[in-house]
Amino acid sequence: MTGKVAVVTGGARGIGLGITRRLMEGGYSVALNGVRSKAQVESVMKELAAAGEAVYIQGDVADPMARDGIVAETLASFDRIDLLVNNAGITSPGRNDMLEVNDADFDTVMAVNLKGPFLLTQLVAGQMIDQRDADPGFRGCIVNITSISAVLASTNRAEYCISKAGVSMATKLWATRLAGHGIDVYEVRPGVIRSDMTAGVTEKYDELFEQGLALNQRWGTPEDVGTAVATLARGDIPYATGSVVTVDGGLTVPRL
Catalytic residues: 160
CA separation (Å) from 146 to 61, 70, 108, 152, 216?
15, 21, 17, 12, 20
CA separation (Å) from 52 to 28, 31, 40, 81, 96?
8, 11, 20, 16, 42
Q: How far apart (Å, rounded) are the C-alpha atoms in residues 117 and 94? A: 23
